[in-house]
Amino acid sequence: MRIIETVVAMRSERASLTSPVALVPTLGGLHAGHEALLGAARERAGTVIASLFLNPTQFGENEDLDHYPADRERDLAVMRNAGVDVVFAPSVGEMYPPGDAFTVDPGPIGEILEGAHRHGHLRGVATIVAKLFIATRPDLAYFGEKDAQQLEIVRRMSRNLLFEIEIVPVPTVRDGRGLAMSSRHAYLSEEERSAAEVVYRSLRCAREAWNGGTHGSSALEGVMRTVIEAEPLATLDYAAVVEAATFEPIPEPDSGASVVSRTAALALVAVRIGNTRLIDNVRLD
**Residues carrying an active site annotation:** 34
Query: Interface with ligand PAF by CB under 6 A: which residues?
Result: 25-27, 55, 58, 125, 128-129, 147, 150
Rounded Cα gap, residues 104 and 122, in angstroms: 9
Of 25 and 115, CB closest to ligand PAF: 25
Closest CA to 280 of 216, 233, 224, 208: 224
In angstroms, what is the minimal distance from the CB of 260 to ligand PAF? 27
In angstroms, what is the minimal distance from the CB of 108 to ligand PAF? 19
Q: Is the peptide bond before 20 cis (omega within 30 degrees of 0)?
A: yes
Of 41 and 250, CB closest to ligand PAF: 41
DSSP codes of every residue in 247-278: -PBPPPTTSSSPPP-TTSEEEEEEEEETTEEE
Of 14 and 34, CB closest to ligand PAF: 34
Closest CA to 83 of 116, 119, 121, 40: 40
In angstroms, what is the minimal distance from the CB of 69 to ligand PAF? 13
For residue 10, which phi and psi values (nearest 5 degrees)?
-65, -45
| CB distance 104 to 127 below 8 Å | yes
Rounded Cα gap, residues 128 and 90, in angstroms: 12
Closest CA to 114 of 104, 103, 125: 125
Of 10 and 125, CB closest to ligand PAF: 125
| CB-nearest residue to ligand PAF | 25
In angstroms, what is the minimal distance from the CB of 84 to ligand PAF? 14
Burial degree of 122 (CB within 10 A; 0-12, 13-18, 19+):
buried
Rounded Cα gap, residues 49 and 63, in angstroms: 28
Of 25 and 106, CB closest to ligand PAF: 25
In angstroms, what is the minimal distance from the CB of 85 to ligand PAF? 18
